[in-house]
Structure 1
Amino acid sequence: MEFGINFFPTVGPDDKPADQYFDEALRLAELAEELGYDHVKTVEHYFFEYGGYSPDPVTFLAAVAARTSRVKLVTGAVIPAFTHPVKLAGKLAMLDNISHGRLQVGFGRAFLPDEFDAFQLPMDESRPRFLDGLRACQKLWAEENVVWDSEFHSFGPVTLLPRPYQRPHPRILVAAAITPSSCEQAGRDGHGLLLVPSISKREKVQEMLTLYRKAYAEAGHPAGGDEVHLSYGCYLSEDPAEARTKGREYARRTNAVMVDAVAAWGTRRSEGYAGYESIVDKINKADFDKSLTENKTLVGSPEEVTERLRTIREWFGDVTISLQLISGNPTYEESARSARLFAEQVMPNFR
């Protein structure tokens, strides 16, 4: 198994100034390299305390690249619908070169109505725009004199500069939420997969992984390339009671800012997001103790978290785990402590 840190900010100016957030996040990224973590990842979101301090993953990961030499840099994920593919492919190719090939590119569809409204895009177009942008970036990276003519973009012939450091292009990962067909498509295309197990039942996650791995194998892609990243909230303490108390508090804060970000789903409907009209109700009904029992969050002492991970590995296989150590806005010291305890007392059990 591999392990990394996923920077999903849930803060705003009233909680923490942006410069302080980035100073602390970059210190944690350096600590991740020091402690032997495999990757650093961050999201793309706008406007809300739910992710809004990370509107451009490439900028943050370029700063991480300058402070590290080994750890992989993962976008989790960039949103191709919000950026022209020539611009997006170019930015990512720069980062791949700056980091000497440490980049993995996660692509996602986005799901917040306010973000689509700001970019003046209909949500019903999110899936075709996602596929169009991903495939255009892939072609721009891998080929020269590219001509692209689709429903959404038309350009060329152009040859992207700089060329990616990795040939033909960086590893591509696809973010999926609750739609099995998205996992199947990622497998057919030979991409990796980004999932958040906390939003689905264990059996649903297993179903999606089975579909993904089967499609990957049947398409004839190289063995071992069916890479799966799972993101989990994480809070560790030597004192199990303290871990549960603080973990519950930070989970509550994360849910509160998420409710604000998804509020527009109370009146919005989209064919591409079946069931999302109930998302606010689901978040409001979130039960931390149930999540803990169902191993949907990695909270507890190092020994308890080790046992949770053993169960997760039995369920899902040797996946890559991304720890959300900063969600809910714990102090830097708490996040650093969780990172150290996990690296020193949990990770060695799975290497």
Structure 2
Amino acid sequence: MQFFLFHLMPYADLDLSAPDKYDSAWVTLPNTYYDPKKGHQLYNRYLDELEMGDTLGFDGICVNEHHSNAYGMMPQPGVLAGSLARRTKNVKIALLGRALPLLNNPITVAEEFAILDNITGGRFIAGFVRGIGAEYFSWNVNPAFSHERFHEAHDLIVQAWTRPGPFAFEGKHYNFNYVNLWPRPYQTPHPPIWIPSQGSTETIEWASHPDRRYTYLQTFSPVTALAKYMAQYRDSAEKQGWQASPENLGWAVPCYVAETDEIAMREARPHAEAFYQKFLRMPTEMLLPPGYLSLKSMQGVMRAKAQMQSGDKSLEAVMKSGMFLCGSAKTVREQIVRYQQEIGFGKILTMLQFATLPHDLAVKNMEIFARDVMGEIRKMDVSPALAAAK
């Protein structure tokens, strides 16, 4: 199993009453709640935490893209990845990912990612997403074109990385007379591509196509949904003539580890509940606007996200569903191993800082997780159950 340290860079100093006044910490939350002086401290603190992932022995560190919110302050994640590229030496840097349908010029991402790949000497992982529904409000993009803009932007970027230039690209949304990428990517034929998703059927089928075989990541979902969508990826791959392996599947989940189960729950509770009740909450029409998903995918995602949207979001509830791992190192270690053996994922992206969790507790969490969870699992002969891998 590979271990990645995932960070959202939330605005940890948020007035927690604000999301209640505006229905969400996204899109409509006034930016007057943001204090640049506190932001200066937070950005540098968060970069320090991600850089610790290198010294603690994680396989990789992860940043991502979100806009107009307190949930994750990385509207331009390449800026953060560029800083990390020079300050780390061993970990892979995964940018998970750029929201391709929002772009007017996907070549900018091809260039940005190629530069990062060159600076790191091939330690870069490219993540492509459609962006959640809220991003389409922030960027004033029609969600009904989400899939076709995503696919066309993806094709343009991959061709820019792999085809000798200059060449012309003609599409419905993007047209270029001269595609001629400088610099070219360091990795051949291009950086690995990962696809985070909420569980769109079309995205799973597309990512699992034999021409792509992209790593599929399930984000912030109950374990029942995780198992469902990972099985769907394996089934889709099999129908298309190839056998998916655990390396093709990853799980992103918040986690808190302490000396005992009781201490872990006490220390994590206010911050985990702030994450699910304040930072992540948004109206359904903002998360899944009309046209963003097909009817089939909409029904599936709505069922999977029901608890996140309207159900019980106490610490006990999100722990029970598997949306939050919390406890002693032994407890969390056993949970991860059991889920991996049952479900068959090969990558786990742990979010060890979340919402308002302060730096001292984040560092404690990272150190215990690295030593007593990740370190101990790496000593074990852990492999997914054959039934899950088929």
Matched residues in 1 for 2:203 and 2:270: separation?
33
Code of the residue aligned with 2:320 in structure 1: it is: T
1:210 equivalent in alignment to 2:215: no
**Per-residue deviation at 1:22?**
1.7
1:297 aligns with one of 324, 338, 341: 324
1:63 equivalent in alignment to 2:79: no
Matched residues in 1 for 2:12 and 2:335: separation?
32
Match of 2:3 in 1: 3
Code of the residue aligned with 1:3 in structure 2: it is: F
Structure-2 change in CA distance of 1:259 and 1:331 (3 Å) = closer
- Other structure's SS at 2:178 match: strand
**Per-residue deviation at 1:116?**
1.6
Code of the residue aligned with 1:8 in structure 2: it is: L
Q: Aligned Cα RMSD in Å?
A: 2.5
Q: Decide which moves more: 74-83 or 218-227.
A: 218-227
1:191 equivalent in alignment to 2:211: no
Structure-2 change in CA distance of 1:81 and 1:231 (3 Å) = same
Matched residues in 2 for 1:13 and 1:346: separation?
29
Contact preservation (8 Å) 2:222, 2:321: no
Structure 1 residue runs without a partner (length 5+): none
| TM-score, structure 2 normalization | 0.81
| TM-score, structure 1 normalization | 0.90
Match of 1:245 in 2: 266
Structure-2 change in CA distance of 1:219 and 1:147 (3 Å) = farther
1:119 aligns with one of 105, 130, 139: 139
Contact preservation (8 Å) 1:10, 1:257: no
Q: Decide which moves more: 280-289 or 128-137.
A: 280-289
1:161 aligns with one of 176, 182, 186: 182
1:283 equivalent in alignment to 2:309: yes
Structure-2 change in CA distance of 1:316 and 1:248 (3 Å) = same
1:31-59 deviations in Å (ceiling 9; x for gaps): 111111011101101111011x1111111
Structure-2 change in CA distance of 1:201 and 1:344 (3 Å) = closer
Matched residues in 1 for 2:243 and 2:117: separation?
22
- Other structure's SS at 2:173 match: coil
Structure-2 change in CA distance of 1:233 and 1:344 (3 Å) = same
Q: How does 1:11-160 map to 2 (within 5 A)?
A: 11=11, 14=14, 17-51=38-72, 53-83=73-103, 84-113=105-134, 115-144=135-164, 145-160=166-181
Match of 1:306 in 2: 333
- Other structure's SS at 1:199 match: coil
Matched residues in 1 for 2:287 and 2:51: separation?
43
- Other structure's SS at 1:127 match: helix
- Identical positions, percent: 22
Alignment: residue pair count: 346
Contact preservation (8 Å) 1:269, 1:277: no
Matched residues in 2 for 1:10 and 1:19: separation?
13
**Per-residue deviation at 1:267?**
10
1:46-84 deviations in Å (ceiling 9; x for gaps): 111011x11111111111111111100111121112231
Structure 2 residue runs without a partner (length 5+): 16-34, 379-390
Structure-2 change in CA distance of 1:217 and 1:103 (3 Å) = farther
Contact preservation (8 Å) 1:263, 1:280: no
Match of 1:324 in 2: 351
